Structures are given as structure tokens and as C-alpha cells.
Amino acid sequence: MNQNQIQEIQETIGYQFKNIDLLIQAFTRRSFAKENNCEDNEVFEFIGDKVLDLIVVKFLAETYGGEASEYTDYDEEDPDEFLSEYDEGTLSEMKSQLVQKKMLAHRIELLELSKYLRMGKGDKAKRADHQDSVKEDLFEAIVGAVAIDCGWDMPIIEKVVDKMLDPEAEHENDDDDYVNFIGLVQNWSLDDCGELPRYDIFEMPKGPYHLGGISSGIPVAGFTSLVQQYKSPTQYNCHLTIPSIEKRFGGFGYSEREARRMAARNAYEYLEENGYITTIRDEIENPNFDDSIGQLEILSRRGYFPIPTYDFAEAHDENGNPIWNCKCKIKGVKHITKGESTSKKDAKKQAAFDMLEYVLEEGE
């Protein structure tokens, strides 16, 4: 691992190691350690796993809970207890979704960190760096290494996890009213120039709540609830730089996460208004019935939605001839389309074509 790679990793996770050996160890698989007589990252995986649980639980508690006096329907005669919008079971499910293997592997893939893994011959032969379990281990090992290096400074660890996992964006992305601008800008930058955007966040002097400055013109829906939840007078400015765009974008918020999201929103709106963003409509030149199955798969492979699934059911008409019914479903898309034909293939095409028309219309 050379100095350029080390610096790239540190910029990606938002943390500068005091002891670079710990960073290198976090990326060292057991197979490499055995062949080169050095320490591997397995203890870091254990530490990172536990630290990650704590950080995510803290995030959920702060986001969906607070003292009773922070809620608008608070009765002054009631004790100032801790209230949560969700029960234990729901919060547990939320936590599980954020720290599950696929999620951590997905984040490592987006950040392109697995390419720096130090692997032995066996790992290289089976392409271990492409496996979700290995990516999950790497995520946890990085968090564990940061925890050790910073002397268990929880605000520092929390910032690293926040940048690597982006829990609010990943969790709220299922909300119909939520747009993950941070993820959109990140993916655009990676596709355009192969580099991640840079976020510089500055804490502003404490003062009365106000809106304006660098984020003027941005709708402020959500700020009220944010202030109610966190009760923090600290304000933040974020400067966002995209390597291939000669323009700096700003954002303002009462948390670093909110400031970063606002800066990303500004940037995405600029990209969209100036023709940098390719829409889903641009991906398919001639949507048509005959090619609809393949065209849906193209959109899926390009990341617009998961791979479509098809369910078939066979019936018969009064003469005993087969009638095929097909349902097309896409995870995360609430609409289900149906096709019916004496031909199984045509039934599938009809379901696919109707779904294609739906996603193209929704994507406009």
C-alpha cells in the first residue's frame, strides 16, 4: 500500500490516522498476514462490529426519540421521560437493516475501498475482495482501527461512521418524500471522473436560529423538526467540491449531516439544471413491446432499480387451451403489472412493457 493509496483511503473515510500502521492493518486479510508475518484485521473486525452497533443505536435514538418536553403535545405536568416514535421491535429492525452484511458491503462498494485490500494468494485466486462477507469485514475493521487510533473518541468515530454508512440517507431512502442527494451526487461524480466529491464542514459561532446565507433559496421543510429533536444551537456550513465541476456548492444545517445534505442538494440541482444528469428516459432510445424484457434489464443493470421478477400462472379457456398470466414486480416499486396471452413469452413481454412504461413515466 503506497502513500497515495493511504491518502485516498483517509480522504474517503474522513479521518487522518496518527498511526498509519493501524490503517494498513485494517486492510490486511489473514491470508496476507500468514504469508508476510504480520498482523491481520480480525480483531479490528470484532471491535468495529460492536462500535458500529453503538453508533447506529445512538443515531436511531437521536432521530426517533427525545425527552418528553421536546414534543409539541408535551404536558408540563407529565414527567420529562424519554419518548420514542417507534417501539423496541421496530428500532431493532431498523438497526438490523443498517448494519446487515449487504448494507455494509454496499457502502464499501460505493466508496471503492475493497480494491485496497491486502490479500494472500488464496484470497486473490477466489477474488475474495468481491465477496459481500469480506466487504462487510473490511467496513467493521476500518471502524475498529479508527476507534483504536483516536483513543475511543466517540465524536470522531461517529463522524467516520456517518460518512461511511450515511445512516440517515440509507434508512430514509424508503420514504417517498426523501431524495438521497448525497448518494446521487456521489454516484454521478464516480461515473463522471472516478473520484468522490469532497465535503468541507465548518462549525459556525453559536447564535439565534436563522435561515439564509449559503443555503438561501433551498426549501426549509424539516428544519423545525430537526431543531426540535436535537435542541442544538450549533450551526454548520458545508462546502462541496466535485472534481470535474469548476464550482463550489454550499449548504447550511443544524447538524453536519444536514449541512452536507443541503450542499449535495444544491449541487444536484445545478447538475440537473445544466444538463449534466442523464435521466432514465435517456437510457432507452426506443421503448417497445418486443424488446421490453431486455430494456427493463438494462435499466436495472444501470442502477435504476433491482432486477425485475416474473410470476406465472397457467389457466385454460373453455376449450382447454392454455392461458398464461404473468406478473412483473420490482422491489421498491409499488406498482405491479400484468400480462395475459396464450403464449407464455408474450404474457411476460406484456407485463414487462407495462412496467417499462410505468418506470419511464415515473422517472420523468
Neighbours of 215 (CB within 10 A): 22
Q: 230 burial class (0-12, 13-18, 19+ CB within 10 angstroms)? A: middle
Q: What one-letter code names the amino acid at 8?
A: E
User: Which helix (H) or strand (E) covers residue 199, if one does?
Assistant: strand 198-204
Q: Which of 140, 162, 166, 258 is catalytic?
A: 140
254 touches 217 (CB < 8 A)? no
Residue 78 designated active-site: no
Q: What one-letter code names the amino acid at 254?
A: Y
CA distance linking residue 91 with residue 38, whole number of Å: 40
Residue 35 designated active-site: no
Q: Which residues pair with 316 in a beta bridge?
A: 322
CA angle 220, 221, 225 (to 5 degrees): 110
242 touches 185 (CB < 8 A)? yes
Q: Which of 40, 45, 49, 256 is catalytic?
A: 49
Straight-line distance from the first to the last Cα atom of the chain, in angstroms, rounded to the nearest whole number? 44
Q: What is the phi-psi region of residue 151: left when phi exceeds 0, alpha when psi lies from -120 to 50, beta otherwise?
A: left
Neighbours of 170 (CB within 10 A): 17
Concatenating the DSSP letter of every residue in 328-350 gives EEETTEEEEEEEEESSHHHHHHH
CA distance linking residue 155 with residue 334, whole number of Å: 39
Which residues are marked as active site? Answer: 49, 140
